[in-house]
Every structure is written in structure tokens, then in C-alpha cells.
Amino acid sequence: MLKAQGFQEIEEGWELGLSSKVLFANESSQLNAQSRASVLQLGKTLKAAKIDWARLDGHTDSYGDAEYNQQLSLRRAQSVADVLEESGMPRANLQVRGLGADFPVESNASRASRSQNRRVAIVITD
């Protein structure tokens, strides 16, 4: 089921890098309507599969102060947690982390690549 939703197996379990579904505008932690709907549907799908826990890793691009980026990434992960909670996942089962710009998926060399780094990854562990 996780693979069908776009998750990829990683060392820690399964990860969905929401860059393909949920991106954030520069310096924003707010989900747009389409992203919010995607996260809400994903939460319902996970809940139907009896998965009601997740780790949410927020990320930013490399521009700006490191402390600011860490806080922004945390707010992004919290935004996703809010929507997953709405879908029925218990908030106590959602671990939220802000990782700042430390783990880019793209180079940050262009506007397009930076946008891919402004994301939240959902990790399902055993």
C-alpha cells in the first residue's frame, strides 16, 4: 500500500518526500489548497491501512539564516501534522522535526531546484 502511494523504502522504513505533492512557497509554512487536499487524502489512506503514526521531516532551501530555516522547516512539518490530525491520525503519534537546509534533494543552484527543497517528508517506520 505504501509503495502505491509513492513511498520509497529507506533504511528507517518508508518515506514519502512530498516534493512531488506538497511544496511550499519561499519563506512560507502554509499549505495551498491542492497540497492540503493531497495530505488530507494521504492521511485517510494511511488510516484505512491501519497506519496512524508518522515522522514528519520539514526542509528548506539553503537561502537565509540557518536558525530561521530550522524554525521554518519545523513550522512546515507542523502544518502537515495539522492536516494529518484532521484526517484522523492522533497528534501524539506524529513526530515533527525541522531539519532546515541540511538534507537537500536538489542543488539549490536554480529557482526550480530550490523549490524542490522546500518540502516535508513523511516517514513511516516499523
Instruction: Return the pLDDT at 6.
Output: 66
Produce one character per residue of 25-36: b if its CB has 16 or more CB atoms within 10 Å, e if not. Answer: eeeebebeeebb
d(CA 12, CA 98): 17
> What pTM, to 2 d.p., does this model score?
0.84
> What does the pLDDT look like over 70-108, one tens digit per residue?
999 999 999 999 999 999 999 999 999 999 999 998 899
The C-alpha R_g of the chain, in whole angstroms, comes to: 14
70 burial type by CB count under 10 A (0-12 exposed, 13-18 middle, 19+ buried): middle
The single-letter code of the amino acid at 99 is L
